[in-house]
Chain A
Amino acid sequence: MATGYAPPSMYRSQEGMGIWEHRGKVAAVGVGHSPTERRWDERPETSVGAWSIMALRNAIADAGVSPDQVDGLVIVPATTTGAFWPKDKPLPQDVINSFVQTDDPLDGIAKLSVEWLLKNMPELTNINYSVYAPVCMSNALNVAAQAVGDGLAHTVLVLKAWHNLEGRYYQGGQNAQESIAGTSAMTSLWGAPACYGTALQFAEYCRKYGKDHDMMTPFIINSRRNGLMFPEGYWAQHRPEELTAEDYQLARWIAKPANLFDNDIPIMCAASYLFTTAERAKDMKQKPVYILNHADSDAVPRGLTPTLEEVEAECALTGRKIYEGAGITVDDLSFENMYDGFTQFHQFHIEGLGYRGIELGEALDFYQTDISIEGPNPVSPSGGNIGSGRSRFWMHTDSIQQLQGRAGGRQITGVNAEIGVSGGPMPLGGNYTVWSATPD
């Protein structure tokens, strides 16, 4: 079974497509996670492959199905947080020997293929559909929802896993060289770190609307608080430390106006969800969470980095696509779990949604109100990447768990959890899912 990338036709990228044809007919049921770790300790049982298997098996068990009932796999084959296996470092033979390997010795160590998973999960005997999604869980969820809706498979496991290796990320490779190739030099010579582009958009946002960096403080504190109630997350598992306003406001700059806590922490982790038809979901172990729509942003900036104008226009377009396909309005949203890693993405996403009626330039004022899980306007109840480390999937797990009523300490209480939205990452280039406790 050759596995390729999902075709563009599986994504809902355009405005005007109408209500999603499979609205309410696809459901998420099972959730499975691996533990988290800051970096890989190079043991076989903590490899990205091992943790992927663990997450998949946990999702199967959580849904209460048998492995032979699963007939589809949607995975993201890239697993790097920005760390790549060094060319001059010997491969860890004990890890390779612990699994059934493919032709690629880095499979299961610094990347992941469907072939590797199937070789190492012999219980998955009935997979007849598999497809790759690029980059993120957000993307894979859109593909899985469409695949189930289209009848390409009826019970699908969706997987995203991350490896993180020793050393500071992005400090090796060409960044450590005396000279670089001309094409890379066009953008990288000036030494801007990953958060720089978002920091620029935030800087322009603050100038335009008269806001400042300190106004992000309630959002940061809220995100860490929610993250500490996410038992699957990094901070809850390893460093259960609350953040104070002083911690945030005095943190060192990375690319001003983005500081250390505006960035997420790269970690090792894996998560999987089990998607199936609404009909089959009725008999499974967990309450189904129905998918009302999925939406895709595929915009490309004209210049080196998106302008504020481009970001705001694209987030507004994304919001319209989300609501149109789901057949809902902003008033139907119980909560939002839009992307936050970097923190300065979040205000663009929620202003694009018009969440709780906010308009352009109002998100930071909104952050000064009650945005807690106990209040009427919960913001990022998952805590996102800021609350639990860089996975880009906490927001999806939380959305499912909120609507199943099993978000534990994070369960929103100021409003009934009925419909939520999650997705990201970039304002220009992201994928979004609308989740509902009921199919209609």
Chain B
Amino acid sequence: MKQGVIPDDLTAPFWSAANESKLVIQNCSQCDRLQHPPAADCGLCKSGDNLEWKEMSGTGRIYNYGVVHDCPIRLLQDDQPFNVAVIMLDDDPGIQMYSHLPGTPVDDVPVGSAVEVVFEESANGQKIPEWKVVK
């Protein structure tokens, strides 16, 4: 079970969208550039004046993965070992998200495969974006 999430000012729109089963990523409208994790300023123009949230298509590819056997997070330790993959979004492969790849056997990860976003509940009910391999 993942830890619960307490949305803060910077990330509240992301978590609110997740509760509606939508994936949004921060975008600088001036630079036309997505960034994740969100930040107070655009990583390119360094201004926070033009930041907005943009809905994503919810599809991507598995870029890479590792298998975690010694996890520092107490709530996840009963689930070890587990996959932690890096997903690159189809909307912009420069945007990465982590995933436990629900439904994919441990250490049997099809790198390069297409994935789609799903939403899982965490310990406090907050929904979290996760990714499943498209069969």
**Does B134 interact with chain A (Cβ within 8 Å)?**
no
- Chain A CB within 10 Å, residue with most, of B15, B86, B97, B99: B86
Interface residues of B in 54-107 (CB under 8 A from A): 63-76, 81-82, 84, 86, 88, 94-100, 107
| A180 lies within 8 A of B72 (CB) | no
| A190 lies within 8 A of B100 (CB) | yes
User: Cβ of B12: which chain A residues have Cβ within 8 Å of it?
Assistant: 182
* Set A175, A182, A255: member contacting B74, Cβ < 8 A: A175
Range, interface on chain B: 35 or more
**Does A74 interact with chain B (Cβ within 8 Å)?**
no
State the Cβ distance, B16 to closest chain A Cβ, in Å: 10
User: Cβ of A1: which chain B residues have Cβ within 8 Å of it?
Assistant: none
| B66 lies within 8 A of A189 (CB) | no
Q: Which residue of A lies closest to B80 (CB)?
A: A191
Cα separation A218 to B132 with both chains bound (whole Å): 38
The secondary-structure label for the interface of chain B is mixed
* Stretch among A274-282, A301-309, A418-426 lining the B interface: A301-309
| B72 lies within 8 A of A193 (CB) | yes
| A193 lies within 8 A of B3 (CB) | no
**Does A43 interact with chain B (Cβ within 8 Å)?**
no
* Set B6, B36, B73, B95: member contacting A191, Cβ < 8 A: B73
Given known A-B contacts A255-B66, A305-B86, A182 and B72 have beta carbons under 8 A apart: no
Interface residues of A in 248-284 (CB under 8 A from B): 252-258
User: Cβ of A305: which chain B residues have Cβ within 8 Å of it?
Assistant: 86, 96
| A182 lies within 8 A of B8 (CB) | yes
**Does A116 interact with chain B (Cβ within 8 Å)?**
no
| A190 lies within 8 A of B98 (CB) | yes
| B73 lies within 8 A of A175 (CB) | yes
Cα separation A189 to B100 with both chains bound (whole Å): 10
Number of residues on chain A facing chain B (CB within 8 A): 40
User: Cβ of A256: which chain B residues have Cβ within 8 Å of it?
Assistant: 66-67, 69, 81, 107
User: Cβ of A194: which chain B residues have Cβ within 8 Å of it?
Assistant: 72
Given known A-B contacts A176-B74, A178-B124, A182-B14, A204 and B67 have beta carbons under 8 A apart: no
**Does B31 interact with chain A (Cβ within 8 Å)?**
no
| A254 lies within 8 A of B65 (CB) | no
Cα separation A204 to B86 with both chains bound (whole Å): 12
| B70 lies within 8 A of A189 (CB) | no
Cα separation A185 to B73 with both chains bound (whole Å): 12
**Does B48 interact with chain A (Cβ within 8 Å)?**
no
* Set A175, A186, A189, A203: member contacting B36, Cβ < 8 A: A186
* Set B5, B11, B37: member contacting A179, Cβ < 8 A: B5
| A183 lies within 8 A of B8 (CB) | yes
Cα separation A170 to B97 with both chains bound (whole Å): 22
State the Cβ distance, A440 to closest chain B Cβ, in Å: 42
What 0/1 readout, one digit per residue, does chain A (195-209) give for beta carbons within 8 Å of chain B? 010011001100100
**Does B122 interact with chain A (Cβ within 8 Å)?**
yes
Give the A-binding residues of B (Cβ under 8 A). Answer: 2-8, 10-12, 14-15, 36-38, 43, 63-76, 81-82, 84, 86, 88, 94-100, 107, 111, 122-124, 128
- Offer 20 A-B interface pairs, CB within 8 angstroms, sorted by A: A175-B72, A177-B3, A180-B3, A180-B4, A181-B6, A182-B5, A182-B14, A185-B11, A186-B38, A190-B84, A191-B82, A191-B84, A200-B65, A253-B69, A254-B68, A255-B68, A255-B69, A256-B67, A302-B94, A303-B95
Give the B-binding residues of A (Cβ under 8 A). Answer: 170-171, 175-183, 185-194, 196, 199-200, 203-204, 207, 252-258, 300, 302-305, 307
- 9 more contacts with CB within 8 A, not counting A171-B74, A186-B38, A192-B98, are A177-B3, A179-B4, A189-B5, A191-B71, A191-B72, A253-B81, A254-B69, A255-B70, A304-B96
